[in-house]
Chains A and B, each alone.
Chain A
Amino acid sequence: MKYDKFFALAKEAGIQEAELYISQKYEVSISLFHGEIDNNSVNNGYTIIARGSYKGKFGTATCDVWNAEKAAFLVKEIVANAKVIENEDPVFIFKGSEKYTKINNFNKDLALIPLDDKIKKLHELEGALRAYDKRIVEVQAVEYSENANSITLINTHGLKLVHKSNYYVYVGVVAAKEGNQVKSAYDLLLNNDFSKADVKTLATEIGKKAIDQLGGEACESSTYKAVLSSDVVSSLVKFYIGHASSEEVQKKSSLFMGKINEKVASSKVTIEEKPLARTVFARWFDDEGVATKNKFIVKNGVLQGYLYNLTTAHKDGVTSTGNGYLGGGKMDVDFGFLVMKPGKKSLDELFAEIGNGVYITEVSGLHSGMNPQSGNFSLQSTGFLIKDGKKDRGLDLITVSGNIVDLFKDIQAVGSDVRVFPSEVSCSSVIVKKIIVSGK
């Protein structure tokens, strides 16, 4: 598509510097129910976010159809929006980093594999889930989806950056029943290498998750030693690292305020942001065009530094860390692929280490049960009792409560059972010294 018209109109309107962020998304998805295709979608869409500086203030506007009329619309809206900005923060349209480490992790072969082969695996997944255990009473859904995304950044300084990525996902959801108790479970696998689409292992994991929950009941309300599964850690770590945002620190709402080079976690905890790792999550420039880099955020429990975009970096007199990402038309501070350093003990060894306690396998309701500012949480959970160093009966209808920073300070051991989650986190199970459980 031609974007010259937009830049010409912007210049005429008195917009000194301007930029277009163009996100293109192509998605195919297919789901089965009882062996038949019940949903199939093919989507192809754009989102165009235009930013420009007008009299020293930033205006932003978006659209998803590109033509001369929309180019004029974006220019008009940028000017109108910039005129009402009162914030004194400097505005930046970036000229480009000195050096970029380009990562090309787009797998061209994925789209060439016939759709029928992908659907065949979907049938295999459904069949394997049904065959897993007779207590699996329903395979609620199995779905294959494939995404190819591109991000293009073009600005008036002549910067033009393009990043492409693709991946596929297989998902399965089942219900298991025993007596009057029904439990559901889901899991997914995400990759862009189709040879790694091991749906049989996925089916086993989902089936086991569902069956293991049957027969569970609440435990006594108390404070327990706990093993948190990698799944639970992956849910919590993003809220925790969110406090490393320089914007939150500058606005005085971060729990990491004034904590650089101080202990914010147990010495067992090391967390890196690795946007340049060769994964489907790789990003070699952020949404401002700044080169991204791998970096430690917490090392042996000590906070290494804050995450910056161009504006927050300018305020603190430092350089951007490549963490400027658009959210709702605003350039937020955010992060990509997080990697928590694994330990050496297996999950069974973690159980043995705590002797008696609880093993929390899943938490839900994070959007309502987690206060991102205070870090206090109270979350619906499932899991197991740990008795005499071994996994015991299931736990049903319990909540776990605590504070996110206290929890990371209480990590006593990190396991070796690393899993990579679609939420862009690689982590393993951990032991925490205490967690409050509400049950009976």
Chain B
Amino acid sequence: MISKKLAIDVLNESLSTGADYAEIFFEDSTYYTTSLENGKVETSTSGSACGVGLRLLKENQCVYGYTNDLSKKGLLDLASSLNKSFHSERLITVTKLDMIRGKNRNPVTNSYDCISREEKIALLKEGIAEIEKDKDPRIVRYLSYFINNHRFVAVFNSKGKWFKRDSEFGRLVFNVIAADQNGFETAFEGPGCQQDISYFKSKVDVVELARKTVETALKMLTAKECPSGKMPVVIGNGWGGVLFHEACGHALEASSVAKGLSCFSGKVGEMIASPLVTALDDSTIPQAWGSIDIDDEGNFGEKRVLIKNGKLMDYMIDDFNGRRMGRSGNGACRRQNYRYCPTSRMSNTYIANGKSTPEEIIAATKLGIYTVGFNGGSVDPSTGEFNFGCSEAYIIRDGKICEPVKGATLIGHGDEILKKIDMVGNDLALGQGMCGASSGSIRTNVGQPTIRISEVTVGGRGGELK
């Protein structure tokens, strides 16, 4: 941790050539990963990450640097190296720093630091025992991981604010590889939380998780290839929300909206989705995977309504990109760690519940596919073109879920696909993922109830849908 006095000195050195904002981001994190391969502990690694990122702004220009040299000299050298980008008179002098506090919705108990490696391994082995019980010979490899991270951050800025943010999170993963004479298939389950270890002990059924991973891998091994072409697609709840994350969420971040580079720039108040769609980005959900009390600019987390009944209401905004938009940040400024310059990002982003039951949605679909497992995706926010891969899917025929199919990828334009959502379920769930963008890889929840898209392009190797 650096002292307030040193922080003031570094901020003032940063501001000496005319920057209109300066911010110090100090981070001291510890992390631990253990991985088991076929039931045996193969690797156990731990580490610490400690450094300072310094950001200077002047109008629409951003200057960023980081260092691992946390001495007074190291930090002042960084400040004087970065301030060379500006050449005018000092505008601001920082004389004091007042602490601000968030609502502490994500309390830290140090639980991961307090339990032994053996205890975490024992948790994984509960699932491993299930995999090894009457093991199907087609299961050729089974991997499991436990990852936990304790992250302490302190931010000091030239608005005279400083704050601390302490967070801890964990993730438990099972990954099973099945093989037969026709090839390989894999299945993955990986729940994560921003809660203490008790979450994994009491709320995650590790045995069921392992069983489900095996079941999916074997099911996909014998599944037929997914048909291709344009067709109705029912997307299951929870992780299915990666569709909205890719097709729309990224294009609503100020990092692309502010410069007019998003297909949704300048469209607040316009209908951009079906009237059935209401979507939110909510960083205030207590202890959720993507929640933050205070963002990296000192703005408090918010429950942002992005789309209400199809109408675009707002974006995810950070202070810097907000300058081009004439807006202040709304608590969406995030980064992976001190090595990344922060920008506007999603937190817990989801489509809100509708009125249909999942059963009604399936029953109303004569011929299409039903996707329930997902690998992730990507998007080009300027064109809105997105893709996402499905790890588990089924044919829907005459309103019934039929045979499993594998290898489906959905593609489309975000602005068109949102208008084609014609049924929204009432079974909202969230799924934990990692989202990569210019400020690094961060924790985000995706989410939605079961939804139906009337027509989307599906890529697969199985020929025409019949």
Cβ-defined contact, B186 with A379, below 8 A: no
Cβ-defined contact, A379 with B64, below 8 A: no
Can you report 23 residue pairs joining A to B where beta carbons are below 8 Å apart?
A33-B60, A33-B259, A39-B63, A44-B66, A45-B66, A64-B51, A66-B68, A81-B44, A81-B46, A84-B34, A84-B118, A84-B121, A86-B40, A87-B41, A138-B261, A140-B259, A252-B140, A373-B184, A378-B389, A378-B461, A399-B387, A401-B459, A438-B458
The count of chain B contact residues (Cβ–Cβ below 8 Å) is 80
Task: Say yes or no: is A46 at the interface (Cβ < 8 Å to chain B).
Answer: yes
Task: Say yes or no: is B93 at the interface (Cβ < 8 Å to chain A).
Answer: no
Sorted from nearest, which 4 A-B pairs have the closest CB atoms?
A399-B459, A329-B45, A368-B389, A62-B47
Q: Given A367-B375, A380-B385, decide whether A87 and B64 contact each other with a Cβ distance below 8 A.
A: no
Which residues of A sit under 8 angstroms from B388, Cβ to Cβ? 365, 368
B383 CB to closest chain A CB (Å) equals 5
Cβ-defined contact, B389 with A365, below 8 A: yes
What residue of chain A has the Cβ atom nearest to residue B31's Cβ?
A: A62
Instruction: Give Cα A364–Cα B49 distance, bound, in whole angstroms.
Output: 32
Q: Which of A40, A367, A379, A439 has the most CB of B within 10 A?
A: A40
- For chain A, residues 27 to 70, give those with C-beta under 8 angstroms from any C-beta of chain B: 33, 36-46, 59-66, 70
- With beta carbons under 8 angstroms apart, the residue of B35, B46, B141, B382 that contacts A61 is B46
Task: Say yes or no: is A293 at the interface (Cβ < 8 Å to chain B).
Answer: no
Cβ-defined contact, B461 with A436, below 8 A: yes
Which residues of B sit under 8 angstroms from A378, Cβ to Cβ? 226, 389, 407-409, 459-461
Kindly supply a per-residue 1/0 record for chain B positions 387-409, scoring 1 wherever the CB is within 8 Å of any chain A CB and 0 otherwise: 11100000000000000001111
Which residues of A sit under 8 angstroms from B460, Cβ to Cβ? 378, 399, 401, 436, 438
- For chain B, residues 62 to 87, give those with C-beta under 8 angstroms from any C-beta of chain A: 62-70, 78, 81-82, 85
- With beta carbons under 8 angstroms apart, the residue of A85, A87, A374, A400 that contacts B459 is A400
Kindly supply a per-residue 1/0 record for chain B positions 175-211, scoring 1 wherever the CB is within 8 Å of any chain A CB and 0 otherwise: 0010100011110000000000000000000000000
Which residues of A sit under 8 angstroms from B141, Cβ to Cβ? 251-253
Kindly supply a per-residue 1/0 record for chain B positions 267-296, scoring 1 wherever the CB is within 8 Å of any chain A CB and 0 otherwise: 000000000000000000000000000000
B228 CB to closest chain A CB (Å) equals 3
B24 CB to closest chain A CB (Å) equals 15
What residue of chain A has the Cβ atom nearest to residue B118's Cβ?
A: A84
- With beta carbons under 8 angstroms apart, the residue of B37, B63, B69, B409 that contacts A365 is B409
Q: Which of B44, B62, B185, B389 has the most CB of A within 10 A?
A: B44
Q: Given A328-B45, A365-B387, decide whether A375 and B183 contact each other with a Cβ distance below 8 A.
A: yes
- For chain A, residues 91 to 144, give those with C-beta under 8 angstroms from any C-beta of chain B: 138, 140
Starting from the known contacts A86-B42, A252-B140, A330-B42, 5 additional A-B residue pairs (CB-CB under 8 Å) come to A43-B64, A61-B47, A85-B41, A376-B183, A401-B461
Task: Say yes or no: is A416 at the interface (Cβ < 8 Å to chain B).
Answer: no
B32 CB to closest chain A CB (Å) equals 9
Instruction: Give Cα A378–Cα B230 distance, bound, in whole angstroms.
Output: 15
- With beta carbons under 8 angstroms apart, the residue of B78, B85, B387 that contacts A369 is B387
- For chain A, residues 370 to 402, give those with C-beta under 8 angstroms from any C-beta of chain B: 371, 373-380, 397-402
The count of chain A contact residues (Cβ–Cβ below 8 Å) is 71
Cβ-defined contact, B44 with A84, below 8 A: yes
Cβ-defined contact, A85 with B183, below 8 A: no
Task: Say yes or no: is B411 at the interface (Cβ < 8 Å to chain A).
Answer: yes
Task: Say yes or no: is B43 at the interface (Cβ < 8 Å to chain A).
Answer: yes
- B interface with A by C-beta (< 8 Å): 33-35, 37-38, 40-51, 60-70, 78, 81-82, 85, 117-118, 121, 140-141, 177, 179, 183-186, 226, 228-230, 259-261, 263, 339, 341, 374-378, 380, 382-389, 406-409, 411-413, 457-461, 464
Which residues of B sit under 8 angstroms from A367, Cβ to Cβ? 375-376, 378
Cβ-defined contact, B385 with A38, below 8 A: no
Q: Which of A37, A82, A367, A369 has the most CB of B within 10 A?
A: A369
Task: Say yes or no: is A255 at the interface (Cβ < 8 Å to chain B).
Answer: yes
Cβ-defined contact, B67 with A63, below 8 A: no
Task: Say yes or no: is A319 at the interface (Cβ < 8 Å to chain B).
Answer: no
- With beta carbons under 8 angstroms apart, the residue of B45, B82, B140 that contacts A60 is B45
A404 CB to closest chain B CB (Å) equals 11
What residue of chain A has the Cβ atom nearest to residue B40's Cβ?
A: A86
What residue of chain A has the Cβ atom nearest to residue B459's Cβ?
A: A399
What residue of chain B has the Cβ atom nearest to residue A80's Cβ?
A: B117
Task: Say yes or no: is A218 at the interface (Cβ < 8 Å to chain B).
Answer: yes
Q: Given A64-B51, A365-B389, decide whether A59 and B461 contact each other with a Cβ distance below 8 A.
A: no
Which residues of B sit under 8 angstroms from A41, Cβ to Cβ? 63-65, 341
Instruction: Give Cα A109–Cα B43 distance, bound, in whole angstroms.
Output: 42
What residue of chain A has the Cβ atom nearest to residue B377's Cβ?
A: A368
Which residues of A sit under 8 angstroms from B34, Cβ to Cβ? 84
- With beta carbons under 8 angstroms apart, the residue of B64, B70, B85, B118 that contacts A65 is B70
Which residues of B sit under 8 angstroms from A43, Cβ to Cβ? 64-67, 339
Task: Say yes or no: is A175 at the interface (Cβ < 8 Å to chain B).
Answer: yes
Task: Say yes or no: is A2 at the interface (Cβ < 8 Å to chain B).
Answer: no
Task: Say yes or no: is A154 at the interface (Cβ < 8 Å to chain B).
Answer: no
Which residues of B sit under 8 angstroms from A40, Cβ to Cβ? 61-64, 82, 85
Cβ-defined contact, A397 with B81, below 8 A: no
Cβ-defined contact, A85 with B64, below 8 A: no
Task: Say yes or no: is A221 at the interface (Cβ < 8 Å to chain B).
Answer: yes
Task: Say yes or no: is A77 at the interface (Cβ < 8 Å to chain B).
Answer: yes
Instruction: Give Cα A384–Cα B383 distance, bound, in whole angstroms.
Output: 18
Cβ-defined contact, B458 with A87, below 8 A: no
Q: Which of A83, A184, A374 has the most CB of B within 10 A?
A: A374
Task: Say yes or no: is A3 at the interface (Cβ < 8 Å to chain B).
Answer: no
Cβ-defined contact, A64 with B68, below 8 A: yes
Which residues of A sit under 8 angstroms from B412, Cβ to Cβ? 397
Task: Say yes or no: is A183 at the interface (Cβ < 8 Å to chain B).
Answer: yes
Which residues of A sit under 8 angstroms from B64, Cβ to Cβ? 39-43
Instruction: Give Cα A32–Cα B419 distance, bound, in whole angstroms.
Output: 35
Q: Given A371-B407, A397-B385, decide whether A62 and B45 contact each other with a Cβ distance below 8 A.
A: yes
Cβ-defined contact, B375 with A44, below 8 A: no
Task: Say yes or no: is A182 at the interface (Cβ < 8 Å to chain B).
Answer: yes
